[in-house]
Amino acid sequence: MTTRRRFLQHASLALGAATMPVAASATPTAAQASPLARVRGGRIAGTRADGIHAFRGIPYGADTAPRRFLPALREPTWRGVRDAIAYGMSAPQAGSEGPGSEDCLFLNIWTPALHDGRKRPVLVYIHGGGYNTGSGSDPLYDGTRLCQRGDVVVVTVNHRLNAFGYLSLGGIAGPDYAASGNVGQLDLVQALQWVREHAAEFGGDADNVTVFGQSGGGAKIATLMAMPAARGLFHRAWTMSGQQVTAAGPRAADGRARLYLDALGIAPGDIARLHRLPIDVMLDALSTRDPSRVEDTALYFGPVMDGHLLPRHPFWPDAPPQSAGIPMVIGNTRDETRAFLGNDPANFALTWRTLPAALRLHQYVDIDPDLVVAGYRDLYPDATPSEMFFAATTAGRSWRGAVEELEARARDGRGNTWAYQLDWYPRDVADGDKMRAFHTLDIPLVFDNIAQPGSRTGGSMQAQQVADAMADALLAFARHGDPRCDATPAWAPYTLPRRETLVFADTPRMEDDPRGGERRLYQRVPFVQRGTI
């Protein structure tokens, strides 16, 4: 899968080079046989399969290499017909989708019809991978099934990541770089502006745009909800296991930027040299150890509360007023940290003696592990040390931000916020009972893509039933701003003190304050998002 994706990415780059700004390479026969759309850059030719038009690798911004760390410009225009049949390059990054390219501002669209005057809901998916990795071209994000299921338009997007998108240089290099800590977010704003401008061309409604995203994608959405530049660009928000309660403060962001420059051997007064460094050198320096964690992790890069582009923390001390009227779904999976920590056999062999040290290493909040162990033994007297470890790290590290956002939204009393928890997991696949409802399990379910490469749901009838429920809830939410559907008719908004939550299990059910004892245990200490200080 990785080899094929890399081939498609390089093919897209080659096509882009061949078609801008000179005449396109597509032959008249190929162009006539393909669905055609007109965008602000020129005409594009996509593909059609299973009744759905797909356009991949559409540029929404110019190559960012000449403007490294600066807001992107609009994409250049082209003559003729540009092929939009292969995904564009991923942003520079380590891992399976790297090293990527700074010419990475591309989006992908799936739609049932073109410029037909219909006003279909538009769903824009923002990928996960924290602020470090990922792209909109993963097979799990293919929009075909959602389009077929709900008569909607689906969009996925690439944007700048890690130091290329979130390196805060304003305090080091002056006002010309004031936006550098948030240019990755500004790329998303630019993509949403492009979507608004072109929604009708792809059969969609510019006044009904839902952003949805998992993990880092959800965090990026939470941040957009507090950015004035994003006001009015989307109308509903659905986040999955991804929150951004607090952003990096300017001092913290400046400190990490200086550590990064030190790792590169660049003096603060020599920013011009930073523009000339090869991508691979910059990626290598990302492994510099972050100063804020006991755990051995790489430097954190994420959005910066700079007082202008992001004038406040996204969800502290309250929910952002500019987005109060936007309906929002905030979800999580029951066993989030099994995705991060479940690959270490030692975490399945913990004893009561070794458990406190493991918790001390892997909790994000600062609380005495002995208190946590005692609290969990009261709550779950039959749990093993390893079961307790995964439950506690989920509650104190991955789930806590969701609780904070839900409470902030509920306090304003608008009744337009819904919570879900994915408890279901496949029992009929390898490691199903070991990994349970791990972080990312809900992606193929909500996209109705359980048969796609990379899905770990299995293909059972039960897996499809859960996918049916989650996908239909998302589509109902995109259409009406309310996630109730045939599978979830009782889904009530989240209120205080009840904390109503839809639990996606074998059959969806409502619960008030699931895991309430765990929530109260961890609310003894304040929650500060990683990277804030």
235 is annotated as an active-site residue: no
Residue owning tokens 């379910």: 445
Q: DSSP 3-state assignment of 275?
A: helix
Choose the catalytic residue: 90, 215, 241, 323.
215
Name the more confident of 361 and 136: 136
In this predicted structure, the answer to whether residue 210 has a pLDDT above a threshold of 50 is yes
DSSP string, 186-229: HHHHHHHHHHHHHTGGGTEEEEEEEEEEETHHHHHHHHHTT-GG
Residue 234's Cβ-count burial label (10 Å; 0-12, 13-18, 19+) is buried
pLDDT digits over 255-277, tens only?
999 999 999 999 998 999 999 99
In this predicted structure, the answer to whether residue 22 has a pLDDT above a threshold of 90 is no
336 is annotated as an active-site residue: yes
pLDDT digits over 113-133, tens only?
999 999 999 999 999 999 999
Q: Are 468 and 153 in contact (CB under 8 A)?
A: no
Instruction: Say what the pLDDT of residue 397 is.
Output: 86
CA 252 vs CA 249, 303, 306, 369, 533: distances in Å: 5, 11, 11, 27, 5
Pairing of β 328-333 and β 106-111: unpaired
DSSP string, 129-142: STTTS--TT-GGG-
Q: How confident is the model over 517-532, as a mean pLDDT? A: 92
Mean pLDDT of the chain: 93
Instruction: Say what the pLDDT of residue 27 is.
Output: 35
**Among candidates 345, 240, 286, which has minimal Cα distance to 95?**
286
In this predicted structure, the answer to whether residue 12 has a pLDDT above a threshold of 90 is no
In this predicted structure, the answer to whether residue 23 has a pLDDT above a threshold of 70 is no
Q: Has this prediction a pTM greater than 0.85?
A: yes
Which CATH class, in words, describes the domain spanning 2-240?
alpha beta
Instruction: Say what the pLDDT of residue 363 is.
Output: 85
Q: How confident is the model over 399-419, as a mean pLDDT? A: 97
The percentage of residues in the chain with a pLDDT greater than 70, rounded to a whole number, is: 93
Omega prior to 99 cis, within 30 of 0: yes
Instruction: Say what the pLDDT of residue 5 is.
Output: 42
Name the more confident of 17 and 488: 488
**DSSP state letter for 176:** G
Q: How confident is the model over 80-95, as a mean pLDDT? A: 97
Q: How confident is the model over 302-312, as a mean pLDDT? A: 97
CA 123 vs CA 247, 363, 377: distances in Å: 25, 34, 43
**DSSP state letter for 506:** S
Q: Are 85 and 275 in contact (CB under 8 A)?
A: no
Choose the catalytic residue: 75, 97, 336, 404.
336
With vertex at residue 134, the alpha carbon angle to CA 129 and CA 136, rounded to the nearest 5 degrees, is 125
**DSSP state letter for 396:** I
pLDDT digits over 188-207, tens only?
999 999 999 999 999 999 99
Instruction: Say what the pLDDT of residue 295 is.
Output: 57
Query: Would you list the domain boundaries of the chain?
Result: 2-240
- The first and second tokens of residue 121, run together, are 């809901």
d(CA 511, CA 331): 14
In this predicted structure, the answer to whether residue 8 has a pLDDT above a threshold of 80 is no
Instruction: Say what the pLDDT of residue 296 is.
Output: 59
**Among candidates 259, 264, 298, which has minimal Cα distance to 133?**
298
d(CA 480, CA 72): 34
Helical residues (DSSP H) of 442-481, grouped into ranges: 442-446, 461-480
**DSSP state letter for 54:** E
Instruction: Say what the pLDDT of residue 533 is.
Output: 87
Q: DSSP 3-state assignment of 333?
A: strand
Choose the catalytic residue: 159, 198, 439, 518.
439
**Among candidates 270, 257, 264, which has minimal Cα distance to 285?**
264
Q: How confident is the model over 398-408, as a mean pLDDT? A: 95
Q: How confident is the model over 168-182, as a mean pLDDT? A: 97
d(CA 418, CA 409): 10
439 is annotated as an active-site residue: yes
With vertex at residue 229, the alpha carbon angle to CA 252 and CA 134, rounded to the nearest 5 degrees, is 65
Residue 102's contacts (CB-CB under 8 Å, 6 or more residues apart) are 63, 64, 65, 68, 91, 92, 160, 164, 279
